[in-house]
Amino acid sequence: MDSADPKEIMQAGQEKRPALRPHKPWVDLSIPISEEMPRWKPRFESKYGGFAHKTSSITLALHTGTHIDAPLHYVADGPSIEMFPLELAFVEAWVVDLTDVAPNHRITVDDIAVNFPEGEPEAILLRTDWPRQAFNTSRFWSDSPFICEEAAEWLASREIRIIGYDFPQEEAIKQLVTGQKRVSARDFTVHHVFLSRGIWQIEYLTNLNQLGCQRIQLVVSPLSLVGLEASPVRVLGRCYKRMEETVWSE
């Protein structure tokens, strides 16, 4: 019996595999931290000379810009930020397209479910492109779409481990920042829904439109701040998909 050519065997195996597109470049999904940021207003202090050219310190709230909430933020005995599971630092995520929602829209289960993936991705990112429309303006807070409690409960039931947004996700945030209403901790129902179930929450993402598809690789890198409830976070994403998968336009 003639032996098969190893090259032919390899080529035949490759033809049976689903074709994969090359990886796209990484996209930074984090808002740069600067002293010019609206609302949060971090403070930088630098000294020049001495033993180095430049030595700096920074003062900022942990919930400044793109950040991640640990369950401890709303759960008294919940995990703190240094307990962020390392296996979640590099995960598959699904970007749910909500770019058709209008300003001040109350995002419902139906809005999310129509574009929700099959299977059980560990991370879900909700994309509205709201930063492209209103970041650096008062409208970013006053006119933002937001999630209703029922939609948060539905998402939490999908057994996800990370939820992320590119918009102020709670009506209570809008009310707090704009002074529309006096709010208390119990008004932050979306925070309660996710954090009480151990779901880590990434707020104020950006550049989701640059990813190019819905199924992505996600890198999440918070600081290891012992005993604290949140951290600024660098979030990166890139598309990886089979040839037949849909590509977004910007």
The domain of 209 spans: 20-32+62-239
Token pair 């609206």 is at which residue? 38
- pLDDT bucket at 4, cuts 50 / 70 / 90: low
183: domain CATH number is: 3.50.30.50
* Rounded Cα distance, 194 and 154, in Å: 10
Residues forming a β-bridge with 55: 47
Tell me the per-residue pLDDT of 27-57, one tens digit each, with 9 for 90 and over.
999 999 999 998 899 999 999 999 999 999 9
Report the pLDDT value the prediction gives residue 195, as an integer from 0 to 100: 98
Residue 46 lies in a domain: no
Instruction: List helix spans (H) across 100-207.
Output: 109-113, 130-134, 139-142, 149-156, 171-178, 189-195
- What are residue 239's phi and psi, to 5 degrees? -75, 135
Residue 214 lies in a domain: yes
Predicted pLDDT of residue 17? 43
Scored b (16 or more CB within 10 A) or e, 92-117 reads ebbbbbbeebeeeeebebebbeebee
pLDDT: is 168 or 6 the higher one?
168
Please indicate, yes or no, if residue 87 is contained in any of the structural domains: yes
Residue 6 forms part of a structural domain: no
* DSSP string covering 70-94: -GGGT-TTSPPGGG--GGGSEEEEE
Per-residue model confidence as pLDDT tens digits over 130-182: 999 999 999 999 999 999 999 999 999 998 999 999 999 999 999 999 998 89
Does 44 fall in a domain? no
Pairing state between β 90-97 and 215-222? antiparallel
Mean pLDDT of 233-245: 76
Integer-rounded Cα Rg, in Å, for the chain is 21
Give the CA dihedral 13, 15, 19, 23, nearest 10 degrees.
Answer: 60
Instruction: Identify whether 150 is part of a domain.
Output: yes
Size (the chain), residues: 250
Q: Report how many domains make up the chain.
A: 1
Is residue 94 a part of any domain in this protein? yes
Q: Is 72 inside a domain boundary?
A: yes
Whether pLDDT at 193 is above 60: yes
What gap in Å lies between CA 160 and CA 176, rounded to an integer?
Answer: 28
Tokens of 82: 């240094």
* Alpha carbon distance 78, 247 (integer Å): 39
pLDDT value at residue 243: 42
If you search the block for the tokens 């970007």, which residue do you land on?
95
